[in-house]
Structure 1
Amino acid sequence: MQNNSNSKARTLASNLTVVVIGAGAWGTTLAKLADAGGHEVRLWSRRSGDRLQPLLEGADIVVSAVSMKGVRTTVEQVRQAGVAPHTIFVTATKGLDPDSGSPEQLPLLPSQLWQTAFPAHPVVVLSGPNLSKEIQQGLPAATVVASQDIPSAEIVQLALSSPSFRIYTNPDILGVELGGTLKNVIAIAVGTCDGLQLGTNAKAALVTRGLAEIIRVGTCWGARPETFYGLAGLGDLLATCNSPLSRNYQVGYGLAQGKSLEQVLAQLEGTAEGINTTQVLVKLASQQGIPVPISHQVDRLLQNKITPQAAVEALMLRDYKPEMEEREVES
């Protein structure tokens, strides 16, 4: 069955028209991957002033690589322009919608915004340890495409794969999307740790407990725990927490150097999605009674309510407890 599915996907994934929305570093990288695969690629920037509708005509795949704050506007622009009935949507945005979420309702993720607007179309999430500058240099990397429609995920897998960019499929769209989103908060904390030169032991502890925090939130929200041990969870966390190329890491590092958040952002190339994600996550986790100690300290740090040194001290002075909580053991 798998071979038949792959064979059909290979047939459907040849000579595609791929529209990439968002001409930043990641959108440009994905456009180059599609072009290298021999597909017709159309790249659109929201700032270009060009009309979107002509670019969407006949599109087989539409890739959204815009920042979280631009997703709602982009979805509406695409909805108004219209797409072909067979179009597959791919979202490569990592964030939580700030205009949704309550104790009774989870915050909307980018894929959910796309799926709500286009209920008859398959939506695929692309997420993993993908530093765009390294991929542009041709260095080896891997990622995950997740969807409830696996045949569509397989088409995207084949359309964007290259000898140096390996793509895996996963049916847990929620877990893959949350893994890529929540790790940005932990990356800010780890950047702070490195900026304070607290050493490898402290960093290892922070990354490990950060993963536990991600799993705790993700499973409470309905994701599969095993997804967070894969590329879109642990893999993405390790890449983001170990590279100065990570914008979220740079935020934490800059704050630890005594810079204000405004100064850090002024020097940043692109958007650090972890800042918005932290605010939305901490608010909702508090309402739902989900312990997020690392995210809580990151939130206080971003709001200038605490110094980097005091944030680390607050984490180290927490009550003693077992490493594995009951909920984590059960999952």
Structure 2
Amino acid sequence: MINPKSQISEVLSAGTQHTPRETTEASTDLSKNPKSIAILGAGAWGMALANLAAANGHRVRVWSRQGSQTLEAVLQNAQIVLSAISMKGVSDVSSQVQSFPVSPETIFVTATKGLDPESRCTPSQIWQTAFPDHGVVVLSGPNLSKEIELGLPAATVVASNVPTAAQVVQLAFSSNLLRVYTNPDPLGVELGGTLKNVIAIASGVCDGLQLGTNAKAALVTRGLTEMVRIGNLWGANTETFYGLSGLGDLLATCNSPLSRNYQVGYQLAGGQTLTEILANLQGTAEGVNTCRVLVQIAQQQNIAMPITEQVYRLLQNEVSPRQALDELMLRNIKPEYNY
């Protein structure tokens, strides 16, 4: 595997660094036309994607702020630039990338799930603003990085307003370990992966309080309704939220202790403070920041998002986990759908 600590700058073939399960004929064909891929971010997800690309025979360079390789060196001749950095660093890194020469044919891929706290933009919107003439692709799905690292099978979605760009990325990362689908709704794909993090926090609370399967099913289902509601406001397609990047990702993160957002909720239910949890968490729980941004938007647009609101109040220490549950259960009764 590529080692982020030693910061190996380039992997020339699958066999030099990583040997997954037997490769398929399709992935073997991919190695005949290797791409030069720059991965920005050496966290768990960035490294998982780097290993997948390397296993397909692509030339992979990895950059992180703590690494020895400069950003300019990693970007040199890159045909695909994939950003897997945390949301708080997207604006800064995209601005840095602008200062270096990039081929007009370079495709930018974002695998970050979050919302900018200042502009409220998604990661792809930030990258597209920085590189308006380039294809920008969103990669999102039910992809717990630990399971990817273990070589367990998974599926994901790549979406772009430039269909050919999505197809190039699909070919670059498809293998017998990862089935990659394309989608023409990048905003919906991106929002699905972003909005579900808030529901994952609530799901962790649900399990931490041992509320049972009935409550969990109701929570996740109504959480999906909130995701669709705000997604539609921003112009995303409803159908996208019932696919891998919406419902699929929601199911994965709401049911796995491997999810950092789930862990935030679970540990809050156990009596820990948010400060304590975040201090000991490996990686970033993007749902904490996303929740704050969503509540601001919901209040300004008068959108009903009761689960998100209670998660926000819990994160702000305004209510206890049990009080948040009571407020959700005691809301006025209503139809399930507004026909």
The interval holding the TM-score normalised by the smaller chain is over 0.9
Per-residue deviation at 1:237?
Answer: 0.1
Query: Residue type matched to 2:195 in 1?
Result: L
User: Matched residue of 1:81: which SS?
Assistant: coil
Moved more, 13-22 or 156-165: 13-22
Residues 12 and 155 of structure 1 are in contact (CA less than 8 Å); yes or no, is this contact kept in structure 2? no
The CA distance in 2 between the partners of 1:127 and 1:309, in whole Å, is: 32
Task: Provide the C-alpha distance between the structure 2 equivalents of 1:12 and 1:153, rounded to a whole number of angstroms.
Answer: 18
Q: Which moved more, 1:262-271 or 1:250-259?
A: 262-271
Counterpart position of 1:145: 158
Per the TM alignment, residue 11 of structure 1 is displaced from its structure 2 partner at its CA by 8.2
- Paired residue for 2:111? 92
CA RMSD of aligned residues (A): 1.4
Whole-Å separation in 1 of the counterparts to 2:33 and 2:96? 27
TM-score, length of structure 1 as denominator length: 0.92
The runs of at least 4 consecutive aligned structure 1 residues that moved more than 3 Å come to 10-13
2:186 corresponds in structure 1 to 173
1:211 to 199, 224, 238: 224
CA positional deviation for 1:77: 1.1
The corresponding residue for 1:291 is 304
Give the equivalent residue in structure 2 for 1:186.
199
1-structure distance, mates of 2:315, 2:100: 38
CA contact (8 A) 1:13 1:158 kept: no
Instruction: Supply the AA of the counterpart residue of 1:84.
Output: S
Query: 1:199 deviation in Å?
Result: 0.4
SS of 1:239's equivalent in the other structure is: helix
Partner of 1:25: 44
Contact kept? 2:31, 2:58, Cα under 8 Å: no
Separation in 2, partners of 1:81, 1:53: 6
The runs of 5 or more residues in structure 1 that have no matched partner are 1-9, 101-106, 327-331
Q: Which runs of 5+ in 2 are unaligned?
A: 1-28
SS in 1 for 2:155: strand
Partner of 2:66: 47
Q: Is the 8 A contact 2:87 2:113 kept in 1?
A: yes
Helix, strand or coil at the partner of 1:108: coil
2:255 and 2:146 mapped to 1: Cα distance? Answer: 15
Conserved in 1, the CA contact under 8 Å of 2:30 and 2:171?
Answer: no
Instruction: State the Cα distance separating 1:46 from its structure 2 match.
Output: 1.8
- 1:1-331 aligned within 5 A: 14-48=33-67, 50-100=69-119, 107-326=120-339
Shift of the alpha carbon at 1:267?
1.9
Note the alpha carbon deviations across 1:250-306, whole angstroms, 9 max, x for none. 000000000000111122110000000000000011101111000000000000000
CA contact (8 A) 2:128 2:136 kept: yes
Tell me the SS of whatever aligns to 2:99.
helix
Identity of aligned residues (%): 65
How many aligned positions are there?
312
Q: Contact 1:57–1:84 at 8 Å: present in 2 too?
A: no
3-state SS in 2 of match to 1:89: strand
Distance 1:272 1:64 in 2: 17
The corresponding residue for 2:7 is: none
Shift of 1:211: 0.4
Residues 98-118 of structure 1, C-alpha deviation per residue, up to 9 Å, x if partnerless?
Answer: 011xxxxxx210000000010
